[in-house]
Amino acid sequence: MVSFLEVMKRAVTGKPCLARDFELKVFVPKLREIVKDYDIRYDPATIIPSDNSLADDVFKAAFDFFLETGAYCMDTERIIRFDEDEIKEGLKNAPSKALLGEGKDARTLSPRKPEDKTPPWCFLGAGGVPVSSEEIFSSLVKGYASIPEANSITTPALTSAGGLRIRPRSPIEMLGAIRNALLAREAMREAGRPGLPIMNTLATAESAVALAMALQPKYGLRATDGYLVAVMDPFKVDFDRLNKAYAVLSLGAPLGIAISPLLGGYSGGPEGTAVANAAYHLLATIVSKATWHLPFPLHIKYVCNTTPELLWLISVSGQAISRNTHLLSLNLNYTAAGPCTEMCLYEIAASVMTSVVSGLSIEALGVSGGKYEDNMTPMEPRFSAQMAHAAVGVKREDADVLVKKLAKRYVDKMANPPRGKTYQECYDIGKIEPSREYAGIYNTVKKELEDLGIELKSESR
């Protein structure tokens, strides 16, 4: 099996290539060629395909694409490549489960298959969206931890520490990362869920040095948390992100890799982005030694992944991975609309249903593309978790009918979605309770889902 050290060796000794040449002379033409060779086509009449051969072709295309393209190291300007046997061995030996959390909150993250009756892993929270104060941070995390279906937490990102605005790679960033860890763990204790894992590393720790500082156990992070590191589009890594990965691997913790190909970017249309989304799982497994994977393809214009073509590629690439590997994959849904709007909940319902029936677990939630401070509440992840459990065992054909009905409720608003309200505008942040307006919106959408045959129930702890 290719070791992390061998990956670094190839990052230094691989074929030289300028970044622009890798993007436009390697990645783009090879992806177009692979899509054409496998005759992968997007059908606008279908959002959730039930054609297993299509999913399997997407996986084969992803395998061939990664085999021929490799990964690109930004710092050395060299291509890191692997042969067919090395990729197959890496997939065979990749983790098929991960024990996360401690005590009564410990759970095992397991792979799923399309139409699986196994409940999905629910990774709930802010998705690293920035917050304006420690008070808002703590209230949100406590609200997330109080959701019965929560298997793990994703924290917000502090924007200041010690009264100063956080600047990347500065001592203030390190202070912010430490405060992030301490505040999150304390909020979960107050919610009665001290053992819940934090699975987005630390949203405040942008640099490797800040992450390494915050990894010290005295600040509250544990080897049973699920640390998250990003890979850049297209197929790029750099020393800072590899340093983060190595720090997490040295801790013996489950490493997650976030991957976000852009529809309309280097990957092209839905067909190419579907292949790239699946191929990123192979890159993360072989290069970064990932235990779990967090894909979130985005629309280059709308900065969300709830348009019909995005849902299609999420479904087909999710089925490609879940049918052909035992990799642990979760889809992160990004809505166009903000909190306290019906559109936001419709988007969540469509995205979560698509992910779960396609064999994925979920992270929820990146609201409004994560563009605004305090622009999230505990309602969206709560609704996501309820929807995820309601989607268990639903057939793909039935889910396709439902999701198309949901998409019709919001697609004409994608170009100008409602921003919604901040946490403090639609919640009592002390009691962590939604306003009458937001509770009414939730009940309205819940009733509409019931009329469509989907019943939302809250689990008990």
Model confidence pLDDT, tens digit, residues 192-210 = 999 999 998 655 556 666 6
User: What is the reported pTM?
Assistant: 0.94
Do 28 and 268 contact (CB within 8 A), yes or no? yes
Q: Which amino acid is at 146?
A: S
Residue 416: Cβ within 10 Å count:
8
- The C-alpha atoms of residue 454 and residue 115 are separated, in whole angstroms, by 15
Backbone phi, psi, residue 144, to 5°: -65, -45
**Local structure of 202: helix, strand or coil:** coil
DSSP codes joined into one string, 8-55:
HHHHHHSEE--HHHIIIIIIHHHHHHHHHHTT----TT-SS---HHHH
Q: Where are the domains of the chain?
A: 98-451
pLDDT digits (tens, 9 = 90+) for 425-438: 999 999 999 999 99
Average pLDDT of the segment spanning 24-53? 98
The residue among 203 and 98 whose pLDDT is bigger is: 98
Q: Name the CA dihedral angle for 443, 142, 432, 379, rounded to a multiple of 10 degrees.
A: -20
Residue 289: left if φ>0, alpha if ψ -120 to 50, beta else—which one? left
Detail the DSSP E strand segments found in 45-154.
Answer: 71-73, 78-80, 98-100, 107-109, 122-125, 130-131, 152-154
Do 113 and 355 contact (CB within 8 A), yes or no? no
* Helix ranges restricted to H, 268-377: 270-286, 308-324, 342-357
**Local structure of 283: helix, strand or coil:** helix
Q: Which amino acid is at 250?
A: S
Average pLDDT of the segment spanning 244-267? 92
Average pLDDT of the segment spanning 375-398? 96
Average pLDDT of the segment spanning 323-339? 96
- The C-alpha atoms of residue 108 and residue 217 are separated, in whole angstroms, by 22
- The C-alpha atoms of residue 212 and residue 61 are separated, in whole angstroms, by 37
Do 384 and 331 contact (CB within 8 A), yes or no? no
The predicted structure's pLDDT at residue 352: 97
Terminal C-alpha separation, the chain: 42
Strand pairing category for 361-366 and 298-299: unpaired
Smallest Cα–Cα separation from 199: which of 228, 177, 230?
228
Q: Which amino acid is at 19?
A: A
Q: Which two tokens stand for residue 284?
A: 């993360």
Residue 106 DSSP one-character state: -
- The C-alpha atoms of residue 458 and residue 179 are separated, in whole angstroms, by 32
Do 331 and 355 contact (CB within 8 A), yes or no? yes
Is it the case that residue 158 has pLDDT exceeding 90?
no
The predicted structure's pLDDT at residue 218: 67
Q: Which two tokens stand for residue 252?
A: 């013996």
Backbone phi, psi, residue 209, to 5°: -65, -35
CA 52 to chain centre: 24
Q: Which helix (H) or strand (E) holds 215?
A: none
Q: Which whole-number Å values give the CA distances from 326 to 13, 164, 290, 314, 344, in the listed order?
A: 31, 45, 13, 17, 32
Tokens 């929270």 label which residue? 125
Average pLDDT of the segment spanning 22-34? 98
The predicted structure's pLDDT at residue 284: 97
Q: Which whole-number Å values give the CA distances from 126 to 63, 95, 203, 364, in the listed order?
A: 32, 26, 9, 7
The class of domain 98-451 in CATH terms is: alpha beta
Confidence bin at 387 (pLDDT 50/70/90):
very high
Q: Which two tokens stand for residue 144?
A: 């997330």
**Local structure of 377: helix, strand or coil:** coil
Is it the case that residue 4 has pLDDT exceeding 90?
yes
Q: Which helix (H) or strand (E) holds 58?
A: helix 52-69
Confidence bin at 161 (pLDDT 50/70/90):
confident
Confidence bin at 145 (pLDDT 50/70/90):
very high
Buried b (16+ CB within 10 A) or exposed e, 162-175: eeeebeeebebbbb
Q: Which whole-number Å values give the CA distances from 157 to 131, 195, 200, 372, 380, in the listed order?
A: 6, 21, 10, 12, 17
